[in-house]
């Protein structure tokens, strides 16, 4: 296990939970991801998790559907909470202690996000899932992941995607796309690469927080990555 990482923040998109479905949560994918997190948890790492909500509702869909932007963004935040509850339940099915903290108060199902409490949970070896984004409209869950990672003093953000790193164009559409082993924050911004949104990248750059981009859909990849295998692009 890499000894330079003691605390990580794992960011997963909501779409990654859909599997081959067009909407919602694929139970097999949820179980597979939970198994992968469980493997890493038992290696001794402290883990925070941020999930997107795009499998249920995307704030960007709001204007297309005649919903006002701010209302749409709040709907998207609530979608992330649904995914977070599902992931919490899946992890606890493997006997892993968890806490769900949300940026919007909903005391019947989650704790409010309190930085010191989150860090204490991590120190007590509980997986902490952060729901509802930043709690503010106009900010993505990528930005929420960067913000929470900085707040809990994570060593790295682990961004799980469908491809094995960062490319100069979409490898699913362009078979000649070039993969980067390492790339700087500034190159990501200048090239407008779809790693994370610009606000998230800038937050990571300002706080010298590295990002590892890897294929989460490959079973066991999260553990391989944490063992130091070169299966990710490093953004630093």
Written as tens digits, the pLDDT of the chain (236 aa) is: 566 899 999 999 999 999 889 899 999 999 999 999 999 999 999 999 999 999 998 767 777 889 999 999 999 999 999 999 999 999 999 999 999 999 999 999 999 999 999 999 999 999 999 999 999 999 999 999 999 999 999 999 999 998 899 999 888 889 899 999 999 999 999 999 989 999 999 999 999 999 999 999 999 999 999 999 999 999 99
Chain Cα centroid distance, residue 176: 27
Give the SS3 label for residue 145: helix
Q: What is the pTM of this model?
A: 0.95
Q: What is the predicted pLDDT for the residue at 61?
A: 75
| Strand boundaries in 103-187, DSSP class E | 111-112, 127-131, 156-161, 166-167, 179-180, 182-183
Give the alpha-carbon dihedral of 135, 144, 98, 94, to 10 degrees.
Answer: 130
213 sits in the region (left: phi over 0; alpha: psi -120 to 50; else beta) called beta
Q: What is the predicted pLDDT for the residue at 31?
A: 97
Classify strands 166-167 and 156-161 as parallel, antiparallel or unpaired.
unpaired
Determine the number of helices (DSSP H) and then strands (DSSP E) in the chain: 7, 11
Is 21 in contact with 61 (CB distance < 8 Å)? no
Question: What are the structure tokens assigned to 118, written together?
Answer: 């989150």
Question: What are the structure tokens assigned to 61, written together?
Answer: 């869909």
Q: What is the predicted pLDDT for the residue at 172?
A: 84
Q: What is the predicted pLDDT for the residue at 1?
A: 56
Round to whole Å and give the CA distance between 142 and 9.
Answer: 11
Round to whole Å and give the CA distance between 51 and 86.
Answer: 11
**Beta-bridge partners for 51:** 12
Is 153 in contact with 123 (CB distance < 8 Å)? no
């Amino acid at each position: 296990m890499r000894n330079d990482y003691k605390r990580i923040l794992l960011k997963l998109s909501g779409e990654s939970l859909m599997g081959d479905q067009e909407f919602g949560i694929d139970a097999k994918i949820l179980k597979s991801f939970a198994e992968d997190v469980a493997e890493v948890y038992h290696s001794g790492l402290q883990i925070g998790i941020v999930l997107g909500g795009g499998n249920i509702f995307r704030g960007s869909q709001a204007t297309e559907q005649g919903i006002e932007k701010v209302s749409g963004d709040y709907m998207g935040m609530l979608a992330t909470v649904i995914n977070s509850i599902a992931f919490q339940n899946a992890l606890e099915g493997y006997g892993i202690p968890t806490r769900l903290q949300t940026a919007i108060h909903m005391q019947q199902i989650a704790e409010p996000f309190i930085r010191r409490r989150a860090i204490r949970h991590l120190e007590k070896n509980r997986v902490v899932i952060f729901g509802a984004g930043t709690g503010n409209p106009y900010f993505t869950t990528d930005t929420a992941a960067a913000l929470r990672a900085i707040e809990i003093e994570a060593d790295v953000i682990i961004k799980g995607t469908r491809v094995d790193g960062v490319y100069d164009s979409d490898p699913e559409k362009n078979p000649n796309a070039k993969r980067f082993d390492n790339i700087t924050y500034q190159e990501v911004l200048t090239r407008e690469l779809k790693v994370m949104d610009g606000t998230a990248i800038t937050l990571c750059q300002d706080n010298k927080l590295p990002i590892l981009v890897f294929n989460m859909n490959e079973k066991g990849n999260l553990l391989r990555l944490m063992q130091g295998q070169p299966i990710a692009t490093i953004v630093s």
